[in-house]
Amino acid sequence: MSRLRRAFLLLIALPALVFAAGGLYVARWSRTALEPELGRHAAGRAVEYLRLHREQVTAQLRLTPEQLARHASALGIERIAIYSASDQLIATFPDTTPVPLSFAGQLTDAMLAAARRGQTVADLVRLDDQPLWLAYVPGEGRVAVAVLRLQPELLERFTAATGYELALYHRDTLTLASRDGWPEAIPQALSDSLASFDRALSTRLAGTQMTAAPVKDFDDWELTGALLVQPSDAAPSLPSLPPGPLAGLILGALLSVTVLWRIAAGPTQGFDPRRLRRGIALALVPPALAAAWLASSDARSSAQASDAALQLGARTTETIATPETLPVERLARLSGAAVAVIANDSLVAAHGIELSAISLAELGGAAGRVQAGERRLAYRTVELPGGTRLVLLSSPLEDSRKAALFWLAGLYGLFAVAVLIFTSLAQTAGSAMAYRETITAWAFVSPSLILLLIFSAAPLLFAFYLSFHGWNLLEPAKPFVGLRHYAELAGDGLFWNAAKNTAVYSLYVPATMCCALAVAILLNRSIKGVALLRAVFFLPYITSFVAISIVWQWMYDPDFGVFNWALGLVGLGPFPWLNSPSTALLALIIMAVWIHIGFQMVIFLAGLQAIPNEFYEAAMIDGAGPWRRFRNITLPMLRPTTFFVLVTSIIGSFQVFTFVYVMTEGGPLHATDVIVYHIYQNAWQFLRMGYASAMSWILFAVIFAITLLQFRLLGRRMTPS
């Protein structure tokens, strides 16, 4: 095997190895990312479960201090002390050591302040080295401080229902646990992380993987402890990734390397183009099929994870003794899902989703999938007393799968680029010099190519991905909607109005080209001050478009604008330039002509100065006048320049945004609403990123088609003979 052949094999084997190894890692990462995500979901449910229990404790204490003392035993109160407004002890029950008015630092100080404002508050504290509920109850000029027993089965009830073991820590010290064997204290670093990130975190303590969630005070402000969550054997489990797709990924990469190696081992003098194209197709198809198989399998795992999360929310709801008494908003927080309530065979309430988006006919079973607007959601039904049904709708665990698919597609894209580079180099196999030249060329191109892939190709592909998903920045679910956005565009009157306005606005291009060519001809001579005149014409194009828009907005003002003042001198106007649907777009076109004349003038000027003077001298000797010289020499020789200006200006006209955004905001009555501004509105005002991405791709297709048509119809004719 020659050194060149070995280099070829190494060149293609490395990307194939990276693709296969990266695909395996991404698949494993997606799978392992779902487990911590499910753990964080369980931790959220546990925190809401404890918060709800605290709210129930607080609710039953909304009595006067004297009533609390009379019904202390029935309410589970172990001790109660009543203090006056001047902090003097008035009474205590039972007749033992009274509960201090304030202790344990900032927590009870904040609770006392809330009670003096008339708010009944309760929270978990450690008193005499025991976990207890401490409550502050306001009265007329009095404050009662009550200590309640903490039910020992509080955590066990959650564990029995959900399968997740819990350990509650107060001030980093173990307070209550559903089983033995938990660490006596949590590390300070974990406490600091919980305080900093303010969300559940996956962690490893005592050699065991678990989830830690922050526990806050009664006011949901100060961090008072942590809750550790660990799945038991009864917890909802996730299926393992089947070996078939993983093996297919490896075999696909190996098959691709084999095919490409046979290409490189072919004849040393030239390549059959058909054989080369067939080889490239055979090299790219197997890895693509393997990646699609892996993505499909991963999608099923993600769906099963969503079902597990929904099952966890339903089990948490069932731990509450009287869930039918809770408001629907509180049930949604407890279950971590969107909630709909069905009573008497009709939808009566919902939270996190619009009632109109749900079809009652699709909610017949205990669990399944339902179409909710643009989203396809999993649902699970919880039966409540009285024949009421609670429907939990959610798809909370899709983000890890989407990230995995994105990275898998990126790896395949890099592999495809490597295949194309390899085939380009393989064609130079017969010449060492050609091989070295090709390697050198790719080395020089690679930095720009890498930047192009990262900052242009990757966002372009991501926008294409978004166009098939209902992507809202405020909603965690990003469902796949297929071609629904593109179908919606077909019936979107505002989009077609924006397309019409964009097409009309692009008419400034031929007008500007005529004016720019005339100015370029006038300034294409050696006269005093011509350089200054050229700079004056070019200056608007390099000035900030925002600044220009603000100035022209003032010039178009119907009361104080320069245009109406000048027209008034000759008895015309005033005209509502930007305030009337009939003149607003025309006003933008006039400004666009003024701005772009300078740029097009410079291009035409360069084209004029490239025309040899001998042509004009010969024409003058033959008696040709200025018009004939312009028609028979200048225009034909300017065809490439004219074609360049036409193509780039048409592309720029379809991308207009700044003038509309600053001056009219698409108004009045959508008279200046253009496609790019319409895309901006849907993306950043209505937060419909998927729909905006679909519009972006339609705009790209239109610009590409127009540009291709220009090349086909005018490309050859614009080449001077």
Query: Per residue in 381-396, pLDDT tens?
Result: 888 877 788 888 875 4
Which two three-digit tokens encode residue 160? 């029995």
Distance (Å, whole) CA 707 – CA 705: 5
Q: Are strands 208-216 and 89-93 parallel, antiparallel or unpaired?
A: unpaired
Q: Are residues 353 and 458 in the same domain?
A: no
How many domains, the chain? 5
Residue whose tokens read 């609403």: 673
Distance (Å, whole) CA 585 – CA 576: 12
Q: Are residues 9 and 138 in the same domain?
A: no
pTM over 0.85: no
Q: Are residues 415 and 292 in the same domain?
A: yes
From 329, 315, 319, 324, select the one nearest 342 (Cα to Cα): 324
Quick check: 613 pLDDT over 80? yes
Is residue 706, in this structure, part of any structural domain at all? no
Which two three-digit tokens encode residue 410? 């990126």
Residue 368, Cβ density class (10 Å: 0-12 exposed, 13-18 middle, ≥19 buried)? middle
Q: Which of 655, 673, 701 finishes a domain?
A: 655
DSSP symbols for 106-159 = HHHHHHHHHHHTT--EEEEEEETTEEEEEEEEEETTEEEEEEEPPPTTHHHHHH
Q: Are residues 293 and 438 in the same domain?
A: yes
375-383 β-sheet, strand order: 346-351, 338-343, 389-394, 375-383, 367-372
pLDDT of res. 399: 46
Distance (Å, whole) CA 575 – CA 567: 9
The gap between the terminal CA atoms of the chain, to the nearest Å, is 51
pLDDT > 70 in the chain, percent: 77
DSSP symbols for 493-541 = HHHHHHHHHHHHHTTHHHHHHHHHHHHHHHHSS--TTHHHHHHHHHHHH
Q: Are residues 413 and 448 in the same domain?
A: yes
Query: Per residue in 102-140, pLDDT tens?
Result: 765 656 788 888 888 888 888 877 777 777 888 888 887
Q: Which of 443, 466, 489 finishes a domain?
A: 466
Is residue 322, in this structure, part of any structural domain at all? no
Is residue 553, in this structure, part of any structural domain at all? yes
Which two three-digit tokens encode residue 207? 């050699």
Query: Per residue in 353-369, pLDDT tens?
Result: 877 777 778 787 788 88
Is residue 522, in this structure, part of any structural domain at all? yes
Is residue 663, in this structure, part of any structural domain at all? no
Query: Per residue in 545-589, pLDDT tens?
Result: 999 999 999 999 988 899 999 988 888 878 999 999 999 999 999
Q: Are 418 and 284 in contact (CB under 8 A)?
A: no
* SS3 state of residue 81: strand
pLDDT of res. 54: 84
Is residue 370, in this structure, part of any structural domain at all? yes
Average pLDDT over residues 465-477: 77
Q: Which helix (H) or strand (E) holds 41?
A: helix 3-60
Confidence of residue 700 (pLDDT cuts 50, 70, 90): very high
Q: Are residues 291 and 370 in the same domain?
A: no
Residue whose tokens read 């080889």: 279
Q: Are 494 and 673 in contact (CB under 8 A)?
A: yes
Q: Are residues 544 and 412 in the same domain?
A: no
Contacts of 297 (CB under 8 A, 6+ apart): 241, 242, 244, 245
Contacts of 491 (CB under 8 A, 6+ apart): none
Distance (Å, whole) CA 130 – CA 687: 50
From 405, 410, 212, select the one nearest 302 (Cα to Cα): 405
Query: Per residue in 219-273, pLDDT tens?
Result: 887 888 899 999 988 887 766 666 666 666 676 667 666 666 666 555 444 455 5
Query: Per residue in 161-204, pLDDT tens?
Result: 889 999 988 878 888 888 888 888 888 888 888 888 788 888 88
Q: Which residues does residue 20 pair with via DSSP β-bridges, in sequence order? A: none
From 708, 711, 686, 682, select the one nearest 695 (Cα to Cα): 682
From 48, 32, 46, select the one nearest 305 (Cα to Cα): 32
Q: Are strands 142-148 and 77-84 parallel, antiparallel or unpaired?
A: antiparallel
Q: Are residues 444 and 296 in the same domain?
A: yes
Tallying the residues shown for the chain, one arrives at 721
pLDDT of res. 695: 96
Specify the DSSP class assigned to residue 415: H
Q: Are residues 649 and 542 in the same domain?
A: yes
Q: Are residues 412 and 430 in the same domain?
A: yes
Which domain does 376 fall in, by range? 337-395
DSSP symbols for 282-351 = HHHHHHHHHHHHHHHHHHHHHHHHHHHHHHHHHHHHHTSS-GGGS-HHHHHHHHTSEEEEEETTEEEEEE
Q: Which amino acid is at 687?
A: L
